[in-house]
Structure 1
């Protein structure tokens, strides 16, 4: 599992209410939120607890750092625990970080392939009203992650207990964006040559060959690519920090040639999708063109909005000035003129407020409509709109084996009508698509999770939902299915098939034998039930005949 405290760069942007609003927003997904848990508050009601936490934070007027801690616990793909286990793990992490008695709201999200918990913690103690900032939190978190992985049998991950996380920065950036970062590119392309340079001239030559330039900025060095993208040199490797470089190579000597002016660069950094099995050149070119067009439209619209706003304000000022001149020229008493001036000023203020409010609404609407999208976000949007190629690119990012309960089989070649080439039903209600191509869509009253190769079944799925999932699997894969997962899940699937008389067979011989045994038992029990009904019917018929005979004799 992975535990991470999400830092906030600006304290003024810290807002506990906004964080909870985001975490508890279902985002039009039926299965995004599994649980909302309030701890150490007088009320378990979310709204009341939120007001209590905000009041507690406002009572501390001395703290200048962020008063909210946002902790995220994420589990590997396919590994899911019960809510009781998740609550126990959440309490252990909060205790380890010193937040045992602090107010917090925890939200379990299950809308991605990785089950994860968001924990919003109030750093202000509810009784002492003092702020608590964990000391060496990365070490405590890494140690506790290892313990929990062993206790619950989870996949063990290498937790690096280091405060400088530069070794993970490139991986995190590239995993989130799907685009090769400058940091990762330098590490892969020229880090060895840079660390082996004996003087500043050799180092500059290596940089120029790769379209890079080193510059002084602040108290350190930055590496600048020919397209203007820069990265802190020490974040690439500690040997490239200003202290280590000047100690090894002497006082800094700037390069005589810039990376932009050099035309013989053999290699140059260009943001492009990470290498995978599918050619993404055309899609990425279209993505870049759309982003450029969107930025141009956004700039044009903002300029027009500002121009319209300024024109309206100028007109309002002229009208207010004209009204004041008219008031000045009329013959009236001092108090009457004063009242007229006050009314004019109030109308002026109201009109200006309306103009600014309308400008802000149109500005936010334009910002939302033309916001810059990341590569993976754009792919998910395209896939949701029916782009099978974008969906295939997302699914090519999947790494490792899937361990969760699943229903799958090789799709038949003749079952492509109404489906994407490798995906979901076109006319279904698609709720969301993850960044590795898992599609959530509605089938009846059930949400189906489809990653192209299998239908994913969550724990505690009801038998009615299993029936819906199996019906979708029959349409997609045919009647011969592969069932993988826990033994209890496999047996339950066989029972559902028999109880609902579904014409499904299994590729696993042992599971198929179990299904056939259940079929025989079911047929036998039905025959016995029919026989009992016939016996009861014949008995009641003979009884009624005897009764009618007796009545006639009487």
Structure 2
């Protein structure tokens, strides 16, 4: 499992209510929010608990740092724990961080391939109203993760016990966006040559061959690519910090671009998708073109909105001036004119407020409709609209084997077009597509998760839902199925298949024998029921 505290970039933007509103929003998905839990408040109600936490935070007026700790617990694909186990794990993390008695709201999300829990903790103590900021939290969190993995038999993850945030930047950016970052590209393509440079001239030549340039910025160095993208030098490697470089190469000597500008750069950084077994060049070019067109349309629309707003304001000013001139010319007392002037001014202010309000609404609408999309988000959007190539690229990002409950064909078949060829899926209500190509859609009242190779089954799925999943699997894979997962899940699948008299077989011989045994018992039971004898067959449960 992975535990991570999400820092906020600006304390000014910290908003506990907005965070909870986002976490508790189902986003039109049937299974996004599995549980919402309020702890250490006078009530379990979300709205009342949120109000209580906000009031507690307002009681502390001295704290200048963020008053909210946002902790995320994420589990590898296929690992599913019960809600009771998740609640115990949540309490243990809060205790080890020193937040045992603090108010918090926890939300379990199950709409992605990785089960994860968000814990929004109020750093302000509910009684003494002091703020608590845990020290060396990364060490405590990493140690507890290792303990929990051992106790619950979870997949072991390499936990870092050293605070090296910069070293994780490239990996996080590339994992989230699917596009190669400048930091990662320099590490892979140029770092070895950079470290071998003996003086500043050699270093500048190495950088020039890779389309890079080193510059002083603030108290350190940055490396700038030809396209203007820059990255902090020390975040690439500690040997590139200003102190280490000047100690090794002497005082900084700026680059002489006169002899290097005409040099052909064999290697240059260009943002592009990470290496993939599927050619993404055409689709990425289409993505870039769409984003450029969207940005251009957004710029033009904003300029038009501003011109319209300014024209309306100018017209309102002229009308207000005309009204003042008319009032000035009429014969009336001083108090009467003063009242007329006040009415005209109030009408002008109201008109300006309406104009500004309409402009803001139109601006936000344009911003939403022409927002920039990341590469993976765009692929998911295209896949949801029926682009088979986009879905294939997403599914090719999958790493490792899925270990959860699943129903699949006897022989794994990862055809990228299955989702679009099968009409029963295409006609269903698609809720979402993850960044590794897992399609979530509705069949009747049952939510199906299809990653191309298998149908993923969540724990605690009802027998009716299992029957629907088996019907979908028969249409997709045929009558011979492979059932993998926990023993309880496999037994339950066999029972559902027998109860519903489904014409399917299982590739596992023992599971198939168990299903046939159940089928015989149900046939005997129906025969006895027809003959006037009512009996309920006992369901044999045995280890497979």
TM-score range, shorter chain: over 0.9
Mapped pair 1:117 → 2:105: no
2:308 alignment partner in structure 1 = 308
**Cα distance between partner residues in 1 of 2:11 and 2:259:** 37
How far the C-alpha of 1:37 sits from its partner, in A, is 0.3
**Cα distance between partner residues in 2 of 1:238 and 1:423:** 55
**Cα distance between partner residues in 2 of 1:416 and 1:59:** 56
Map 1:366-445; keep pairs closer than 5 Å: 366-409=366-409, 419-421=419-421, 425-445=425-445
Q: What SS class does the counterpart of residue 63 from structure 2 fall into?
A: coil
Structure 2 unaligned segments of length 5 or more: list them: 535-544
On the 8 A contact 1:40/1:102 being kept in 2, the answer is yes
Against the structure 1 CA distance between its residues 239 and 416, is the aligned structure 2 distance closer, same or farther, given a 3 Å change threshold?
closer
**Cα distance between partner residues in 1 of 2:299 and 2:254:** 37
Q: What SS class does the counterpart of residue 352 from structure 1 fall into?
A: helix
**Cα distance between partner residues in 1 of 2:190 and 2:23:** 41
How far the C-alpha of 1:237 sits from its partner, in A, is 0.3
1:466 alignment partner in structure 2 = 466
Map 1:36-435; keep pairs closer than 5 Å: 36-257=36-257, 261-409=261-409, 419-421=419-421, 425-435=425-435
How far the C-alpha of 1:526 sits from its partner, in A, is 2.2
**Cα distance between partner residues in 2 of 1:28 and 1:488:** 31
Post-superposition Cα deviations, 1:469-527, rounded to whole Å, max 9, x if no partner, equal: 00000110111111000111111101100101111111111111111111112222222
2:542 alignment partner in structure 1 = none
On the 8 A contact 1:412/1:478 being kept in 2, the answer is no
**Cα distance between partner residues in 2 of 1:37 and 1:84:** 11
How far the C-alpha of 1:262 sits from its partner, in A, is 3.9
Q: CA RMSD in A?
A: 1.9
On the 8 A contact 1:411/1:477 being kept in 2, the answer is no
Structure 1 unaligned segments of length 5 or more: list them: 535-554
**Cα distance between partner residues in 1 of 2:259 and 2:66:** 40
Against the structure 1 CA distance between its residues 463 and 16, is the aligned structure 2 distance closer, same or farther, given a 3 Å change threshold?
same
On the 8 A contact 2:422/2:476 being kept in 1, the answer is no
Map 1:392-541; keep pairs closer than 5 Å: 392-409=392-409, 419-421=419-421, 425-533=425-533
1:545 alignment partner in structure 2 = none
How many residues end up aligned between the 2 structures? Answer: 533
Between structure 1 and structure 2, the one with the greater Rg is 1
Q: What SS class does the counterpart of residue 425 from structure 1 fall into?
A: helix
Post-superposition Cα deviations, 1:40-83, rounded to whole Å, max 9, x if no partner, equal: 11111111111111112122111111111111110111011110
Say which is worse superposed, 159-168 or 375-384, in terms of deviation: 159-168
**Cα distance between partner residues in 1 of 2:378 and 2:113:** 19
Q: What SS class does the counterpart of residue 159 from structure 2 fall into?
A: coil
Against the structure 1 CA distance between its residues 345 and 259, is the aligned structure 2 distance closer, same or farther, given a 3 Å change threshold?
farther
How far the C-alpha of 1:530 sits from its partner, in A, is 2.7
On the 8 A contact 1:67/1:124 being kept in 2, the answer is yes
Against the structure 1 CA distance between its residues 8 and 423, is the aligned structure 2 distance closer, same or farther, given a 3 Å change threshold?
farther
Against the structure 1 CA distance between its residues 419 and 192, is the aligned structure 2 distance closer, same or farther, given a 3 Å change threshold?
closer
2:540 alignment partner in structure 1 = none
On the 8 A contact 1:105/1:119 being kept in 2, the answer is yes
**Cα distance between partner residues in 2 of 1:61 and 1:322:** 50
TM-score, normalised by the number of residues in structure 2: 0.95
On the 8 A contact 2:388/2:416 being kept in 1, the answer is no
On the 8 A contact 1:405/1:458 being kept in 2, the answer is yes
**Cα distance between partner residues in 1 of 2:507 and 2:280:** 36
Say which is worse superposed, 360-369 or 509-518, in terms of deviation: 509-518
